A and B are shown apart, each in its own frame.
Chain A
Amino acid sequence: MQSYAQKPILFIGAKAHLGNGKVIENSVISIQNGKFEIVADASMIRIDPNAFDTIYKVYNNHIYPAFIAPNTTIGLTEIDAVRATHDYAETGGINPNIRSLIAYNTDSKIINTIRTNGILIAQVTPQGGLISGQSSVVYLDGKNWQDAVLKADDGIHINWPNSYYKTGWWAEPGKTKKNKEYQNNINELSKLFLKAKAYSSSNILDLRMESMQGLFNGKKNLYVHANSVSDIRDVIEFFDKFKIPNITIVGGEDGDEVSTLLEAKNISLIINRVHRLPKSQDCRIDEPFTQAKKLSNNKIRFCLSYSGDMEAMGLRNLPFTAGTTVTYGQKYEDAIKSITLDAAKILGIDDKVGSIEKGKDASFFISTGDALDMISNDIKHAFIKGNQIDLNNHQKDLYNKYKK
């Protein structure tokens, strides 16, 4: 694992968005041994400047905890159209044992273009099949995957079958049809989980079964990708039966409609890309934009993702999708929370990251303007575990070359 920076550094004057819903207008923040030390209001505290190696005077700037991008293929893909660069979807439907971490390419050219916009942590997630495999959470910095890892094999991803599917394509949508394979797929899953439960008392090694054991004792999260109301209800019922402790719904386009159930079962959501088209032609045109606000109103814990087309290279727009939720009713600091602390809680990494609080990793960045708005997002410094990271990238190089 990458080491923590040793030197004490001080940042004064910035508006600090702590990630936990709180904001300090004029902040003093210090880091020591790569962790946050002082997090305070400048008017409430006296500081001895001599105690710090470096002091950043960042008046009128904003400080944010590292933005976290869950459910993404970053590092597993380089160019969409080039199959040789794809390492996110294994063949076969049931792959709980495969691990994204070891395929994560720390030198993917895409990574440096993402962190320039404030995203410093990602859940690298495999795709495809009924059980896609295991994700890991990484820092978007490091020389190899051991270096980058923040939480290895944090959970297993299941693609819950869709009970209905849409026909046509975006330009000419067709009718919605029932999926006749739905029940068969559920039966298959059911058999698998029964088997996995029985396996715990066996002494034969089976890679698939072995990999699933963590789900029953809560050591691993279970991420179930499902979108419609009825599918989400079925998911909850299904895994209740198997007493799986840590379930998160990924996608959750209808999530706000099952709030009561989610709240009762204490289940969180990783929601689909906010910048998407409404579910159907009859839906409110701003339906994807207002979902965050509705979930907040219903007190459901959720975080934003950028999954979908071109999700790796487009990931740098995640902060702006949080901005859109503010335009459509979400409180600003709650929007920040939906890409920081709540994401950390859902991924089980909030002991280390997700907010600017004493004792947590000093992984954060400074923007001269509001980081959720594209006209003002301008990251001047970014730190991972107290180490300042390089904000240059392939694209800036080309820019400088051709700018003359």
Chain B
Amino acid sequence: MRTLKIFLILIFCNKLQAQEVFSIEGVKENFIPIYAFTNTKIIATPEIEYQNGVLIIQGKKIISVGEATDIKVPDEAVVFDLEGDYIYPSFIDLYSDYGLPKIKKDIYSYRPQYERNTKGAFHWNQAIHPEIDACDNYVNSEENRKSYLYNGFGVVLTHQKDGIFRGTGACVALSQKSESENLLLPKAASIFSFKKGVSQQKYPNSLMGSIALIRQTFLNTEWYEEQKNQNNLSYNAIIENKDLPNIFILNDELDYSRVQKIADEFEIDFVLKGNGKEFLRINEIIDTESPIILPIDFPKAYEVNNPETTEWITLSELKLWETAPYNPSILSKNNIEFCITSASLEDSKDFLKNIRIAIKKGLNKSDALASLTTTPAKIIEIDHLCGTIEKDKHANFIICSNDIFEEGKIYENWVLGEQNVVNKKQTNDFRGYYTFNSDEFNNAKIIIKGEKSKPLIIFKELDTNKVNLSISDNNINIFDDNGSFRGIGKIYNNKISGRYQNKSGAYYEFTMIRDSLLDDPEQNKITKKHNSLAIPNIWLPNKAYGFEKLPIKENIIFNNATVWTNEEKGIVENYDVVISNGKIIATGFSLEAEKFFPNTEYKTVDATNLHLTSGIIDEHSHIAISRGVNEGSHAVTSEVCIGDVINPNDHNIYRQLAGGTTAAQLLHGSANPIGGQSAIIKFRWGESAENMKISDAPKFIKFALGENVKQSNWGDYERIRFPQTRMGVEQIFYDAFYRAKEYKKTWEEYNDLSRKEKLNTPPPREDLKLNALVEILTSEMFITCHSYVQSEINMLIHVADSIGFNVNTFTHILEGYKVAEKLQEHGAGGSTFSDWWAYKFEVNDAIPYNAALLNDAGVITAINSDNAEMGRRLNQEAAKAVKYGNTSQEDAWKLITLNPAKLLHLDHRMGSIKTGKDADIVLWTANPLSVYAKVVQTYVDGKLMFDIEKDKKIFKRDLKEKMRIIKLMSKEKKSKIKKLKPDKEKHYHCDTIYEHED
């Protein structure tokens, strides 16, 4: 059972202020005493310590602090001799919902909610509520207050942990005084997150949707400030709170760079609340240059006794367990400013324990103290009030038995000059050898030993198994475990006197005289463990198959290969290819490496009997995406970008490399007619999300037609959103592009104004949705459209032609063969499946001959995966074009290399083996179109990303690492162990729509 042994004693209610805003009943207390704390070590700030210090406070404030030699204790002071105890400034927690009401989630409705379901002059989206001020709802909460005090906190920043624009947080002291007195700063910071929280409104239902919504809201604010026609309380609040510190709550280590982009775009400095896994992407976190609020809920060890169930724990979880406690130390070594929060601990009692673990793992004490006091104070700009023990600051401090970062126990936590006893200090030392006398016992010998605050008793003469002892101040209670001896007494000098009742009910007086003290009272003290300070290896990414060191661009000559050039030469045998600095620098017969690398080192790869090709490019993939591939809410979501949510940790990246795939377009899903913008990446395993993007790749956006966008297979409740038919889909496009044209015109008119006119005309509102559509109209953004049946393909071509834009690629396009001529006329390409069909009604006429027919008709044709499994053997899918429709092998190979490169407008640098192109190269054991072909090596930008021999070694390395950590885990104490047990976590299915809320 969880019991917090906290005894709170209110000594005085101090009111330093001469005047107050509340009425006083009865007789006013006018005398405000001075308290002096002497004989104490004061750690006043992370830098200043007073070895023999004196602290003097009056009312809420600190009057003076310093060495005993420098400070005079006033005569009228109440003096507390702390007998060598330590004083620290009390801690500040910036991530709390202390004193706020619990937020209730609406009852889930099967009917989708697209609009607000509450009224008022607020933002259209219910997850955006910057107008909520925590201070309006804050009331003291005795229960929560105790657990904060127990851990040494005196002040918290509290806010409603709900929504994207969460509103402001209040800075609150944890005293028993009234709310008005505790409220140090009503609006101390604005809080943001990516999670929509309890809002049941459909939008946003993906991480990228949240990002777009945040950006659009900031853009709207800029416009709103300049206009005078309408009033919206949410925007008013954003403007009003502009100068407050901003805190952004993150989900994982990848969110840092996501927030950073928003911060840069709108020139906002965010303080980032992390998740304790910062060490996984430390370089990106350094780049943000933002202070961090750090949880220290280190993962618990798993029970590893059963080898088979232990298999279910991934290496990534094991490595996380091992390294997470080093996280604070790694941050401080990298000079990242951070403060520590007690939030998200399963058991709040672990707080100090975990701080001490972090210290053992290398965090130095002064950084630890700063992270709990001065740093948070500075972040929310209360450093003139709190965070250190200095003259005129609030009297917020803790008294500890010893060094708090070692084993110090907190006795008292003073908040606003008010004493809170956390753990009662045992001043009287009962330990020693005693002689016991009563009418029943004559000179019985008793020993009291053990810890001073929790001693044990040995009373042999008593005829029972166990004798218990409990002490408090100078009171003692001795009782056995069968009710035959129950006594109480008081100690005075070396004599205890009292009385007891025996089993017959009779009372006896007794005395216990201390004959001598214990020889060595500290003998039971635990010896300190020495922990290793060496930070475990962190791989990139930190999981199976991760790199210890990122590969570098190599100089290589591949000799004697069968080269599938995808150029005029076709497939050439006994051919050489030379790469350097990430590019192909030469191809030809019998090339001499020395010519290319006269003074530099190079590697020769004997490719005799091997086939060499350019890397496979997957035009349509959904791997490596965080928290939602679909913003499947509104019919038009052109504002969202997959590029914001790339997940470089997805192990499918490595698997694709092992199948010869080196690049992919990560597409938004197909839940809406106008979906989101895609990201075109190379599979640079180990790199950051940003570094995976192909720098000069053009912008693409996903459109979609047919059953998915009309929600045909979403169940009977999803019948609200327009469109529900193909007829409606057409109208969505016309409407969207008419609006885009109007928007474009508005901006053009504004941009044509003279500089002087512009001064008097506010700029139009910038709209991310329409921006993207305008870019389509101006050919700065290309369309990849999910499509199946010929009627809808025809329709979109018709819409495009009449509006004046181009459809770059139709993806899936399984009935493309029926309209090949029309595609060719419009200039659209097709990216299709080799042989999928019959999974929906609209693919009944899908045929595996589609790719061959399209290719024969002169349409640029690609074969894509849309599937993590197929993405690792696309060569086999291309081969099916040979089987179905007799495509030549050379053309079939282009379906997954040169043609997708063309569709993505990247054929100037990718898609063939040609001097000057990127060294994205795959070596195969056999004809790559054959089922018997295996990848030997895969290079991306001339870097070796996969090697069939190295892969075997890496697997062994991973197993070794796993066993090493399992060994450490099995040594872990029982109390720290977590069993693999069922819990209530949601079980996601591979559906189109994914709610990214946890």
Contact = CB atoms under 8 A, between A and B. Distances in A.
Interface of A: 78-82, 109-110, 164-165, 167-172, 174-180, 228-230, 275-278, 280-282, 284-286, 310, 312-314, 316-317, 320, 323-324, 326-328, 372-378, 395-396, 398-399, 402-403
Contacts of A396: 849
Given A310-B836, A373-B931, A399 B847 contact: yes
Give the interface residue-count category, chain B.
35 or more
B929 interface: yes
Given A167-B987, A326-B932, A398 B835 contact: no
A170 B866 CA distance: 12
B544 A281 contact: yes
A179 B989 CA distance: 17
A279 to B, nearest CB: 9
B845 A398 contact: yes
B315 to A, nearest CB: 5
Contacts of B316: 281
B332 interface: no
B308 A229 contact: yes
Interface of B: 308-309, 311-317, 543-545, 622-623, 625-627, 629, 647, 650-652, 654-655, 658, 707, 712-713, 817-818, 820, 835-841, 844-845, 847-849, 853, 868-870, 872-873, 876, 879-880, 882-885, 889, 927, 929-934, 951, 955, 958, 962, 980-983, 985-991, 994
Contacts of B839: 79-81, 310, 313
B309 A164 contact: yes
Contacts of B869: 275-277
A80 B655 contact: no
Contacts of A228: 308
Contact of A327 (B847, B882, B933): B933
A68 to B, nearest CB: 19
19 contacts: A171-B625, A176-B980, A229-B308, A275-B870, A281-B316, A282-B958, A285-B654, A285-B655, A312-B838, A313-B839, A324-B873, A327-B932, A374-B929, A375-B929, A375-B931, A396-B849, A398-B849, A399-B817, A402-B820
A17 B251 CA distance: 57
Contacts of B820: 402
A169 B929 contact: no
A281 B985 contact: no
A177 B962 contact: no
A99 B346 CA distance: 51
Given A281-B543, A374-B879, A375-B889, A169 B989 contact: yes
Contact of A373 (B848, B884, B932, B958): B932
B973 to A, nearest CB: 22
Nearest to A178: B982
A328 B651 CA distance: 21
A170 B991 CA distance: 10
Contacts, number: 173
A177 B933 contact: no
**Top-7 shortest CB links A-B:** A323-B931, A176-B312, A180-B982, A395-B847, A81-B840, A313-B838, A399-B849
B219 to A, nearest CB: 30
Contacts of A230: 308-309
B931 A281 contact: no
Nearest to B946: A285
A116 to B, nearest CB: 10
B314 A327 contact: no
Contacts of B836: 310, 313-314
A230 B308 CA distance: 8
A171 B994 CA distance: 11
B650 A171 contact: yes
Contacts of B848: 395
A286 B544 CA distance: 14
Given A281-B651, A285-B658, A175 B985 contact: yes
Contacts of A378: 883
Contacts of B311: 280
Contacts of B315: 281-282
A328 B955 CA distance: 17
Given A81-B713, A282-B544, A375-B930, A170 B990 contact: yes
A310 B658 CA distance: 25
Contacts of A78: 838
B841 to A, nearest CB: 5
Contacts of B987: 165, 167
A178 B962 CA distance: 21
B981 A375 contact: no
A277 B868 CA distance: 8
B25 to A, nearest CB: 58
A228 B848 CA distance: 35
A374 B932 contact: no
Given A275-B869, A282-B315, A167 B986 contact: yes
B883 A377 contact: yes
Given A82-B841, A282-B958, A374-B880, 17 more contacts: A167-B986, A169-B990, A172-B650, A174-B985, A177-B980, A228-B308, A275-B870, A281-B314, A281-B543, A285-B655, A310-B839, A313-B837, A323-B931, A374-B929, A375-B879, A375-B927, A399-B885
B853 A403 contact: yes
Given A169-B994, A395-B849, A164 B312 contact: yes
Contacts of B876: 320, 374
A293 B889 CA distance: 29
B260 to A, nearest CB: 22
Contacts of B981: 177-178, 180
A79 B838 contact: yes
A218 B870 CA distance: 40
Nearest to A280: B314
Contact of B847 (A323, A372, A398): A398
A108 to B, nearest CB: 9
Nearest to A317: B835
B544 to A, nearest CB: 4
A170 B623 CA distance: 9
A9 B793 CA distance: 49
A327 B836 CA distance: 24
Contact of A316 (B835, B853, B870): B835
Nearest to B952: A284
Contact of B626 (A172, A275, A398): A172
A334 B983 CA distance: 44
Most B CB contacts (10 A, CB to CB) among A171, A278, A316, A378 go to A171
Nearest to A320: B931
A369 B825 CA distance: 38
A165 B884 CA distance: 39
Given A110-B838, A171-B622, A171-B629, A285 B868 contact: no
A282 to B, nearest CB: 4
Nearest to B818: A402
B980 A178 contact: yes
A198 B110 CA distance: 46
A81 B625 contact: no
A193 to B, nearest CB: 26
A327 B930 CA distance: 10
Contacts of A175: 312, 317, 985
Contacts of A281: 314-316, 543-545, 651
A327 B931 contact: yes
Nearest to A276: B869
Contact of B817 (A314, A374, A402): A402
B832 to A, nearest CB: 14
Contacts of B853: 399, 402-403
A310 B834 CA distance: 14
A315 to B, nearest CB: 11
A367 B847 CA distance: 21
B840 A80 contact: yes
A266 to B, nearest CB: 24
| Chain B CB within 10 Å, residue with most, of A110, A276, A285 | A285
Given A79-B840, A282-B962, A373-B930, A177 B985 contact: yes
A281 to B, nearest CB: 4
A373 B308 CA distance: 36
